[in-house]
Structure 1
Amino acid sequence: MRIAITFILSVAVLAVFLSLGTWQMQRLHWKEGVLEEIDAAILAGPVALPAQPDPESHRFLPVVATGDMGSEELHVLVSTRDHGAGFRIIAPFDTGDRRIMVDRGFVRVTAKDAERLTGAMQVTGNLHWPDERYESTPPNDPASNYWYAREVAVMAAALNTAPVLIIARSSTDPAILPLPVTSQGIPNDHFEYAMTWFLLAATWIVMTGFALWRMKRPTN
């Protein structure tokens, strides 16, 4: 009787582990579809800048704008895999009917205060409202022009622009490396979660088998 109860309970727990692992695999396929849709939206043909960009409906929207790039800059500290530490260059961009911001791309730490091309140019990129402020993120240091998160409203107030940010796809200045919008920063950990549940299921099978063997083993 004890063996039967142990077996039934063990099967029930195993079913829970396997169902959770299967659910995470389903979530994985769903998330991959979402990321494919985001990638398609990011790489679509650019359109004119909307009259009233919206953080929800226009996130990642590909746009093209013509205007004058200002010389004012905000320097956002960032680290890249291939180029190490440096700064994203956030600059005001006057399109004639409004003043917005452009994330021009990456420069190394040594080029923080270098002169860059400004004036009339065309910018192609994606609208974005990054969410980069966490509890561990240091406070910005505007006096030294060290920024640690791209917060559109905060940066817009500092540069006296509308709260609109275009992340450039390419650069007219060869000294600036574009860091265009991609879906790579969007977390997709469902495969790891699924493997965790399946490993727990495998471990449970071994433990259950050992327990049943101990119960059935004759005692002296």
Structure 2
Amino acid sequence: MRRILFLLIFGIAGLAILLSLGFWQLQRLAWKQGVLAEIETRIAGEPVELPDRISLADDRYLPVTISGEMEPGEIHVLVSVKQVGAGYRIIQSFSTEDRTILVDRGFVPTTAKQAERQTGQMEVTGNLHWPVEIDSYTPEPDIDDNIWFARDVPNLAAALGAEPVMLIARSQTDPGVTPLPVNAAGIPNDHLQYAITWFGLALVWAAMTGYFLWRNRAPSKSEEQ
């Protein structure tokens, strides 16, 4: 009897923990969906002038329109686009009246890597962003062939003589460059999968607990005799 009681308490406690983790992930899912909705709303907002003081925390995704000069000289960041294939993001410096920042103009296929692109006076609308694309597996840029493997904003800014501020263009800056605007699709939201995992484990735990309780309550052959 004590063994059955121990199995029952242990099983209920484990089931409660697994279910609580599943419901916690559902709460996190609702929170994350709200955050993503706010980000999408911010991304699609009316563009404003480039702030004098830029905060990475407060100005991420801020829609901005800048006027000035797209400087010659570009950096190519290797990227792959669904249903298109491999190509490069074109990163250049852009000078306004009193400052120079980075502009991610968008995507070109590998065959257009060396193509001439429009520079000079223009207006660009996009969103400020500081992509987090660097990890321990990211290769160092191939400077000789001008191939970078991530948008490392500080290093890109140093290479192009600009502030570590990047505007991801959503307006077209050249007929041959396809803008890749900022969106929330790349922000991880795995809480539903986590919740399903915890609830699945809870179901398995409940089944195992039931099995062990049944096995321990079933009469042995010596008791039947």
- Normalising by structure 1, what TM-score? 0.97
Q: Which residue of 2 aligns with 1:23?
A: 24
Alpha-carbon distance change, 170 to 82 in structure 1, aligned in 2, over 3 angstroms: farther
Q: Quick one: distance in 2 between partners of 1:168 and 1:176?
A: 10
Tell me the SS of whatever aligns to 2:73.
Answer: coil
Where do 1:88-107 residues align within 5 Å? 88-107=89-108
Tell me by how many angstroms 1:49 deviates.
Answer: 0.6
Where do 1:44-59 residues align within 5 Å? 44-59=45-60
- Normalising by structure 2, what TM-score? 0.95
Superposed CA RMSD in Å reads 1.0
Where do 1:44-83 residues align within 5 Å? 44-83=45-84
Where do 1:206-217 residues align within 5 Å? 206-217=207-218
Q: Quick one: distance in 1 between partners of 2:53 and 2:12?
A: 57
Tell me by how many angstroms 1:143 deviates.
Answer: 2.1
Cα pair 2:68 2:95 within 8 Å, conserved: yes
Matched, 1:135 2:100: no
Q: Quick one: distance in 2 between partners of 1:9 and 1:92?
A: 63
Q: Which residue of 2 aligns with 1:108?
A: 109
Tell me by how many angstroms 1:13 deviates.
Answer: 0.6
Tell me by how many angstroms 1:99 deviates.
Answer: 1.6
Q: Quick one: distance in 2 between partners of 1:9 and 1:162?
A: 59
AA partner of residue 199 (structure 2): F
Q: Which residue of 2 aligns with 1:147?
A: 148
Q: Quick one: distance in 2 between partners of 1:219 and 1:145?
A: 76
Q: Quick one: distance in 1 between partners of 2:219 and 2:101?
A: 80
> Could you list the runs of 4 or more consecutive aligned residues of structure 1 that deviate by over 6 angstroms after TM superposition?
none
Unaligned runs of 5+ in 1: none
Q: Quick one: distance in 2 between partners of 1:99 and 1:19?
A: 51
Where do 1:184-195 residues align within 5 Å? 184-195=185-196
AA partner of residue 11 (structure 2): S
Matched, 1:85 2:91: no
Q: Quick one: distance in 1 between partners of 2:96 and 2:47?
A: 16
Q: Which residue of 2 aligns with 1:122?
A: 123
Tell me by how many angstroms 1:100 deviates.
Answer: 1.4
Cα pair 2:50 2:66 within 8 Å, conserved: yes
Tell me by how many angstroms 1:20 deviates.
Answer: 0.5
Deviates more, 1:23-32 or 1:110-119: 110-119
Tell me by how many angstroms 1:144 deviates.
Answer: 1.4
Tell me by how many angstroms 1:71 deviates.
Answer: 2.1
Q: Quick one: distance in 1 between partners of 2:143 and 2:160?
A: 11
Q: Which residue of 1 aligns with 2:41?
A: 40
Q: Quick one: distance in 1 between partners of 2:178 and 2:161?
A: 25
